[in-house]
A and B are shown apart, each in its own frame.
Chain A
Amino acid sequence: MSGCPSFERKLQTFQKRSAQVDNGDDAQAGCNKATKGGTVYGEYLQLDKIVAAQLLQSERKGKKVHDEHLFIVTHQANELWFKQILWELDSVQQIFMKGHVRDERNMLKVVSRIQRIAMIFKLLVQQFMVLETMTAMDFFDFREYLASSSGTQSLQFRLLETKIGVPECQRVPYNRRHYRDSFQGKENEILLKSEQEPTLLQLVEKWLERTPGLEKDGFNFWEKLQANVEEGFRSETRKLDQKPKSEMKKEIMEDLQKRKMVFTSLFDEKCHNHLLSKGERRISYKALQGALMIYYYREEPRFQLPFQLLTSLMDIDAFMTKWRYSHVCMVHRMIGSKAGIGSSSGYHYLRSTLSDHYKVFVDFFNLATFLVPRSWVPRLNPSIHKFLVTAERYDSSYCSEDSD
């Protein structure tokens, strides 16, 4: 650049090689800032901590087993991502708890972060394929050195479960002991605290109860729906009665009766509360109504993002279950039916955690039971029912600058 001839010559060799690359000069534009000081990459990421944290127990005991390094790194990567999930989860929890969620300008932020959590879980499921390159024989070679260490001692995983909404009373006991018993002192306190704070499930429940359109003195969605459903069945029954007797008519009649029963239970608040107490349903009756309203009217502008939120919450449940299942399969392959490292029954314990007890937003999945023909959905009148196109904004609580 300076006009110095020997520099130019060196430049030409570079340029000849870069000639094959069509971006030659563009690729070389710029200057190297690192020489000027400031935070460099390794310091910014505290790599001296991250990349020095792999200490093989097998090596310490004088019998280094190669594959132990993979085992360690895989778990550390999982824990890094657990931290990220907790970061996102806590921020969303704050938005709800502070009431900022009532300003609907915050919905994009909420939904983006919940979707991000789902993407991370998806990655964690994909991550199994790496550890699956380790054989059971290789694992056997160093397993003894892991003695008492086990995933049931992962504080972040438990925090994550609890904050999303896995209720303590639904947990499969681990060796007949409370899951929190795996933790001492400060960690135990942190866990206890997370059980006592509002979970994502609870916050979403309250939010659903506030769904516009539920108000009895307003749109009164639930009663309108019940009326429509009853009328719909009455009309179907009438049509069916008129048909000539046949085997097929009998089957259709039976099917109709079954469906009627399903909806009868839907409109039975006592039935819902009973299932709630058994832990088979997780959200309140009012919240269920709110969710169904969002499902039916998801294309209305005001409900589009709320609908995405419900979908992403189900994605999280789905990925967590897939994660648990991938984990079970791998454990089975690695240790068969022997006891797990923390000495639970390993495979059998893990398999028992695959149940719907651990599915937090199970009610959203079950809403599919109550889908109705479009014509049964209570009609909306845009000139009267303005709430569908008018979002709520409270300037004092909108937190765009306050990046939480």
Chain B
Amino acid sequence: MSGCPYFGNSHLSSQTFHREEEDESQEGVNNASKGGIIYGDYLQLEKIVSAQVLQSELRGNKIHDEHLFIVTHQAYELWFKQILWELDSVRDIFISGHVRDERNMLKVVTRMHRIAMIFRLLVDQFAVLETMTALDFFDFREYLSPASGFQSLQFRLLENKIGVPDNQRVPYNRRHYRDNFRGQESEMLLCSEQEPTLLHLVEKWLERTPGLEENGFNFWGKLQKNIEDGLRLEKEKLEKKEESEEKEEMMAEHNKQREIFTALFDEKRHDHLLSKGERRLSYKALQGALMIYFYREEPRFQVPFQLLTFLMDIDTLMTKWRYNHVCMVHRMIGSKNGTGGSSGYHYLRSTVSDRYKVFVDLFNLATFLIPRDWVPKLNPTVHTFLYTAECCDSSYCSSEDSD
């Protein structure tokens, strides 16, 4: 740029450069020489990059692959921290009531989607540790005891804050999972059990879904009527048919459907399943979720529908994470005990179950899908709530309070 004729001959193989790109790529000035925080300091790399101490090396028998083991877990913990950062911010938006201002929905959904993307990365990350063989792991495993993933505070916090309930956890060696932690860590865990979880907050939010009001749109009452009408019509049509094996099968199928929907509208039954831990949302929240499902294309429900989808993505990805972990552990240690003393593989396999699926009710909604014409009709001139969002100015937190 200076116009000097001799500049740059040594290192520019100019014939492979386009002239205009070359000039543009050289524009600018190197700011770092002016002072101000530089990359390594900004990221506190002196901490990050000096945190790898091989136990095998400390014991005088350095095993190469231990470094990979350490770095992989550290990377996981970094991302757990990020997930907690996003999770806590979303919980705050709900807890503070800011979620009632619907301008905050984009922020909420974006952050939940981000959490899902991070989990996706964490599932992919197994491929790197899988380049370590069981034989290589065996060489340094003895130096790890009794350290174990059970002692990962952040992982437990994450589970709790999303909504894994204490009483659904598979006990670990017949002891409470919190027993692995002492002092401040144990207190933090206790707090996370007692504060509103994401599940709990979403439940309350679902209960407030517009359209559920009995003296308003009365979605549930209308739905029940439509389904009963629909099933009755179906039965009448079926009965008119000629007797045949096919008719019998269709009748049986019809009766099964009837049973499913009878159960859906049975509040007592729902509460019973709730107490057993097989369902996790209140009856009203379930209604809200079904309403959002059926009317997801109405402007007001579009982003709420995305939220429900991302919540299920997170559950799915966490299950995949657990499963990938199990497979790898099996390959690494077969049926031996874990370094923390658990049964290792068997314990982990027991956590790949629906009891750890927080938003299991959203998945199960697929049981209750119905033909479009059974869905209670909406009248846009009457039911204006579907495209009128609520914006309570006092609680919108767009730029100033960036939480």
Contacts and interface: CB of A to CB of B under 8 A. Distances in A.
A54 B172 CA distance: 32
Interface string B161-188: 0000001101111110001100000000
B373 to A, nearest CB: 38
Interface string B332-350: 0000011111111011011
A403 to B, nearest CB: 5
B-side interface size class:
35 or more
A56 to B, nearest CB: 10
Interface residues of A, number: 114
Interface string A4-30: 000000010010011011011011111
A36 interface: yes
Contacts of B110: 133, 135
A115 B179 CA distance: 40
A230 to B, nearest CB: 32
A218 interface: no
Contacts of A80: 48-49, 71, 74-75, 78
Contact of A41 (B42, B81, B148): B148
B121 A84 contact: no
Contact of B39 (A32, A88, A154, A352): A154
B174 A14 contact: yes
Contacts of A174: 30
Interface in B7-29: 7-8, 10-13, 16-17, 21-22, 24-29
Given A40-B151, A51-B154, A342-B31, A119 B128 contact: yes
B375 interface: no
A339 to B, nearest CB: 5
Given A28-B173, A339-B27, A66 B89 contact: yes
Interface of A: 11, 14, 17-18, 20-21, 23-24, 26-47, 49-55, 57, 63-66, 69-70, 72-73, 75-77, 79-81, 83-84, 87-88, 91, 112, 115-116, 119-120, 122-123, 126-127, 129-130, 132-133, 135, 141, 146-156, 168-177, 181-182, 278-279, 339-346, 348-349, 351-352, 355-357, 403-404
Nearest to B15: A278
Given A112-B131, A351-B21, A130 B28 contact: no
Contacts, number: 321
Given A30-B337, A53-B47, A348 B171 contact: no
Interface stretch (B50-58, B260-268, B292-300, B301-309): B50-58
Given A44-B55, A53-B44, A79-B43, A176 B1 contact: yes
B402 A32 contact: no
B71 A403 contact: no
A340 B152 contact: no
Interface string B193-231: 000000000000000000000000000000000000000
